[in-house]
Amino acid sequence: MDPRFNDYLHARRAEIEAALAAVLPSPPDCPAIVADAMKYSLTAGGKRLRPILCLASAEAVGGARAEAMPAACAIELIHTYSLIHDDLPAMDNDTMRRGRPTLHVVVGEGMAILAGDGLLTEAFALMARAPESSDPVVCTRKLHVIGVVARAAGACGMVGGQALDLAGGASTAQEPPTPMTADELRAMHARKTGALIRAAAVAGGVMGGGDDRVIAGIDLAATELGLAFQIIDDILDVEGAPGTLGKTTGKDAAAGKATYPALYGVSTARAMAAACLDRAERHLEAVRLGDSRLIDIGRWIVDRSN
């Protein structure tokens, strides 16, 4: 990785960590028992890909990072809640995440569900209040972004994708699970991981004041980056060391889940991710964002080892 881009990632992460620490509710407003649980998961580390993408998108369209920081944090709260709920015994039943026991192992299932609910709800409280402004333009952007993020996170997006994943290929409760086809796998991931990554990029563009055409280009690019992210995630689940990833690996294969390397083999899957990156770059170049940090972030998504 370009050392300057590495510095950039470090600087962004430090800003984001500080902003996240400031947005979590705390006693006496919020009972300590649930505030502590929310904090445990939110401060567990993580790449902070989505907020970094959000801020980069705001800057790419000529906006200031401060305008997009609340949305960036809100999206990370939503991502964190989704991990807590996905890790529950009733879902993926994961006991390790980011090198630490998952939240339900530490505080119990009920409190983990509530901490997830609290993070999701706090995300919307945050986007409604910040950045504080009585300017009608900012107000319109905030409502636009709340709508984008809610649709991406909800039953038509991330929650729907997780439901499809959980149902294992069945489309109704009556139908038995069947192995997913490549198209179904892609559609499931477009919801489960793609939608929120797209929303992060779009939210940054909207808060930064990008025009509709540029934001449409960012959305197309982020769609490709979301798919690349998932392909690489699947490859890392096969190849990665648990110590590097901080979570159990090889689970997808063990569960007989359809994954990109299982369907296409690792080298074809890697080539698919690289093709996504190429398409993303072309979408960005088409809206004159070919020299933005969004390109570097795309390369990082494809080249990452955790």
Q: Which residues bind a second copy (CB under 8 A)?
A: 25, 29-38, 81, 85, 88, 90-91, 106-111, 113-118, 120-122, 124-125, 127-129, 134, 136, 139-140, 142-144, 146-147, 150-151, 153-156, 159-160, 162-164, 166-167, 170-173, 191
In whole angstroms, the minimum distance from the beta carbon of 24 to a second copy comes to: 9
Q: Which is nearer to a second copy, 31 or 279 (CB)?
A: 31
In whole angstroms, the minimum distance from the beta carbon of 176 to a second copy comes to: 12
In whole angstroms, the minimum distance from the beta carbon of 10 to a second copy comes to: 30
Q: Which is nearer to a second copy, 128 or 254 (CB)?
A: 128
In whole angstroms, the minimum distance from the beta carbon of 76 to a second copy comes to: 16
In whole angstroms, the minimum distance from the beta carbon of 186 to a second copy comes to: 14
Contacts of 118 (CB under 8 A, 6+ apart): 25, 30, 34, 37, 38, 81
Q: Which is nearer to a second copy, 40 or 300 (CB)?
A: 40
Rounded to an integer, what distance in angstroms lies between the CA atom of residue 7 and that of residue 21? 21
* Residue 128, CB-side half-sphere exposure with 13 Å CA sphere: 6
Q: Which is nearer to a second copy, 108 or 242 (CB)?
A: 108
* Inter-helix orientation angle 212-239/182-189, to 10°: 120
Q: Which is nearer to a second copy, 44 or 266 (CB)?
A: 44
Rounded to an integer, what distance in angstroms lies between the CA atom of residue 157 and that of residue 95? 25
Question: Of 88, 1, 91, which Cα lies nearest the Cα of 47?
Answer: 1
The strand pairing partners of 97, in sequence order, are 100
Please state the φ and ψ torsions of residue 96, each to the nearest 5 degrees: -125, 145
